Amino acid sequence: MSTVMDSFSWLYGKPSCQGRIKVEPEDFVVKENLGFAFAGTGEHFMVKIRKTGENTKYVVNELAKACGVKSRDVSWAGLKDRHAVTEQWLSVHLPGKADPDLSAFEAEHPGVEVLETARHDKKLRPGDLVGNAFQLRLRDLDQPEEVIARLAQIREHGVPNYFGEQRFGHNGNNVTKARAWGNDEFRVRDKSKRSFYLSAARSWMFNQVLSARIENNTVRSVMAGDWLESEADPRGMLVATVTDSIQQDVDAGRLSITAPMMGDNALPTTADAQAFEMAIVEQEPALLKLIRDNRMRHERRPLLLKPEQVEWQHDGDTITVSFALPAGCFATAVVREMMQEIVDETEGTEHDAYSDQ
């Protein structure tokens, strides 16, 4: 089955192995990592849940009822996929109130377990996490040996840091709508739809630049004018002249080549890199116009993603793989490099998760 992602290049070539994922919710396990400790006191009642086959926003609404507050008083660091088993924290604003008893809430919602509670002095906000840990079961693999070989490559060299198909909507509908909005074919007043379409527009152009760099073999090779980033210096640096030292730092993972999340301000890249990026994004004039009209601010995103703690177990035509990703990265970008997913036409293409949602 073809998908909207088929237009983007694979780092190791398109996989020939076919298989299934998410046959059962337990085949896709996600555990959130906030990366910070709670204060122990404060106005916010923190609830760690494990949900199976449930939508995050549905659980938020039901938890709000159980705590006697409005849905807007419950917040989260990231939305999690419905068709999975996921663990995450929710925060409930309960100033001056005792911790509520959630036993009835659990009894009424068998797909939700309360694992832990705490108090904190700040509410959770989208993006308040360092990442997620994943455990995925890949079933009915017709060439499991190929998957194992690719896992070894992924562990050593990483995968393209693509935004996953779920960012673009079913059959890329969010991108289609974004283009139409950019062409002034209609207006979008709904705040959530505006966010979906703008995110899809920026993500689509990022994926296009990344795919083009894979095609011309520069995804790991520094260009003159590239913008590089590192964990040690998130401000980034411009490459005026490509040197052996800079390329060695990229090869060793100390520096990362980036591509644009387009905005209305000028690109920080120059020379060959800027010319390359603009030649790609200017093929989407409606999306560019939309982003500039809405005063989006330019950001950068690394081209490559290296999953951590990559491990796997092989049992016949099934492989169980685990890995951790930082916030904002998609598990589907990892799976895409391992196998082609068999999806029944009636199932649609809804998937997990990127780690900040």
CB 227 within 8 A of CB 255: no
Catalytic residue among 27, 73, 81, 128: 81
Which pLDDT score, from 0 to 100, does residue 345 have? 56
Closest to 329 measured CA to CA, from 24, 23, 82, 33: 33
pLDDT tier for residue 81 given thresholds of 50, 70 and 90: confident
Quick: pLDDT tens for 149-180: 999 999 999 999 999 998 998 899 999 999 99
Quick: pLDDT tens for 228-248: 999 888 789 999 999 999 999
Place of tokens 């959630």: 102
Give the Cβ contact number of residue 86 at 10 Å: 28
Which pLDDT score, from 0 to 100, does residue 235 have? 85
Closest to 4 measured CA to CA, from 208, 146, 290, 141: 208
Q: How far apart are CA 216 and CA 211, in angstroms?
A: 9
For 292-323, give the DSSP string: HHTTPPPEEEESEE--EEEEEEEETTEEEEEE
Rounded CA Rg of the chain? 21
- Do domains 36-120 and 162-302 share one topology? The answer is no
Return the SS3 of 92.
strand
| Phi/psi at 187 (5° precision) | -110, 150
| Cα 146–chain centre separation | 25
Residue 62 has pLDDT above 80, yes or no: yes
Domain boundaries, the chain: 19-27+131-155+310-341, 36-120, 162-302
What pairing do the DSSP bridges indicate for beta strands 85-93 and 340-341?
A: unpaired
Give the Cβ contact number of residue 120 at 10 Å: 19
Quick: pLDDT tens for 19-59: 999 999 999 999 999 999 999 999 999 999 999 999 999 99
Residue 276 has pLDDT above 60, yes or no: yes
Q: Which of the pair, 356 or 187, is modelled with greater confidence?
A: 187
Give the Cβ contact number of residue 143 at 10 Å: 15
CB 338 within 8 A of CB 151: yes
Q: How far apart are CA 253 and CA 270, in angstroms?
A: 22
pLDDT > 90 in the chain, percent: 89
What is the pTM (predicted TM-score) of this model? 0.91
CA angle 217/262/250 to nearest 5° reads: 35
CATH C-level class of 162-302: alpha beta
Q: Which of the pair, 144 or 3, is modelled with greater confidence?
A: 144
Contacts of 10 (CB under 8 A, 6+ apart): 160, 214, 336, 337
For 95-138, give the DSSP string: TT-PPPP-HHHHHH-TTEEEEEEEEESS---TT-SSEEEEEEEE
Q: Which residues pair with 86 in a beta bridge?
A: 30, 51
Q: Which CATH number does the domain 36-120 belong to among 3.30.2350.20, 3.50.50.60, 3.40.640.10, 3.40.50.300?
A: 3.30.2350.20
Residue 350 has pLDDT above 90, yes or no: no
Q: How far apart are CA 288 and CA 31, in angstroms?
A: 36
Which pLDDT score, from 0 to 100, does residue 349 have? 42
pLDDT tier for residue 2 given thresholds of 50, 70 and 90: low
Quick: pLDDT tens for 184-225: 999 999 988 999 999 999 999 999 999 999 999 999 999 999
Mean pLDDT value across residues 117-135: 96
Which pLDDT score, from 0 to 100, does residue 353 have? 46
Give me 47's structure tokens: 């609830």
Check if 81 is active-site: yes
Across all residues in the chain, what is the average pLDDT? 94
Amino acid 244 reads D
Amino acid 59 reads V
CB 19 within 8 A of CB 341: yes
